């Protein structure tokens, strides 16, 4: 017998020609997104609110500006109720959205889809772009209850 060594023999199908090409390792989805994007995914409030031209100084100013900031094309199939519970001073109101239309009501709703709680000061800072919603949630100044996915839609409904 001639030829090369008999031991160790390569197993069948393991030679370089038979091995499948190695895939390059892909980073995890959230690692590609970055730290702030993870909070965007988890943050239920409007992250993309741009700073208004004039500052809104009261909740009544915010409510009065809502028809101008409402985008019905972004909520054609949406039926939901968003409720805000503000403290210092105490005030509760809710918005009912029904397939591209909305109505504002004073007082609490018996079963809101999303309930947002904060002080009036924090709410006005968020609306005016003076505070990031991520920071408000992380520091406990903003609390959201209910459907997170519905809450995230606010940034497309009221711009």
Q: 117 vs 133, which has greater pLDDT?
A: 117
pLDDT at 121: 94
- Average pLDDT for residues 15-24, to the nearest whole number? 58
Establish if 63 belongs to a structural domain. yes
Range of the domain at 67: 48-157
Mean pLDDT over residues 111-134, rounded? 91
pLDDT of 34 strictly over 60: no
Q: Is residue 66 part of a domain?
A: yes
Residue 146 lies in a domain: yes
In which band, very low, low, confident or very high, does the pLDDT at 28 lie, cut at 50, 70 and 90?
A: very low
* CATH number of the structural domain spanning residue 138: 3.30.1050.10
The pLDDT of residue 88: 87
Using the predicted structure, report yes or no on whether residue 57 has a pLDDT greater than 50: yes
Task: Indicate if the pLDDT at residue 42 is higher than 70.
Answer: no
Task: Write the pLDDT tens digit of every residue in 99-110.
Answer: 999 999 999 999
Domain count, the chain: 1
- 125 in any annotated domain: yes
Asked, for residue 11, whether it belongs to a domain, the answer is no
Looking at residues 110-120, what average pLDDT do you find?
Answer: 95
Give the C-alpha separation, 102 to 122, whole Å: 24
Q: What is the pLDDT of residue 71?
A: 94
pLDDT of 22 reads: 59
Is 132 inside a domain boundary? Answer: yes
Contact (CB, 8 A) for 142 and 120:
no
**Is pLDDT at 21 greater than 70 in this prediction?**
no
b/e per residue 26-44 (b: at least 16 CB within 10 A): eeeeeeeeeeeeebbeebb
């Amino acid at each position: 017998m001639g030829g090369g060594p008999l031991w160790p023999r390569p197993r069948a199908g393991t030679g370089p020609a038979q091995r499948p090409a190695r895939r390059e390792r892909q980073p995890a989805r959230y690692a590609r997104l970055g730290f702030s994007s993870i909070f965007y995914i988890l943050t239920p409030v409007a992250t993309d609110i741009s700073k208004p031209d004039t500052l809104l100084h009261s909740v009544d100013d915010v409510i009065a500006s809502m028809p101008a900031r409402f985008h019905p094309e972004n909520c054609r199939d949406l039926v939901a109720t968003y409720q805000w519970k503000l403290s210092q001073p105490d005030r509760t109101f809710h918005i009912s959205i029904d397939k591209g239309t909305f109505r504002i009501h004073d007082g609490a709703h018996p079963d809101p889809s999303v309930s947002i709680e904060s002080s009036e000061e924090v709410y006005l800072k968020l609306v005016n772009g003076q505070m990031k919603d991520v920071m408000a949630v992380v520091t406990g100044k903003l609390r959201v209850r209910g459907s997170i996915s519905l809450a995230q839609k606010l940034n497309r409904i009221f711009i």
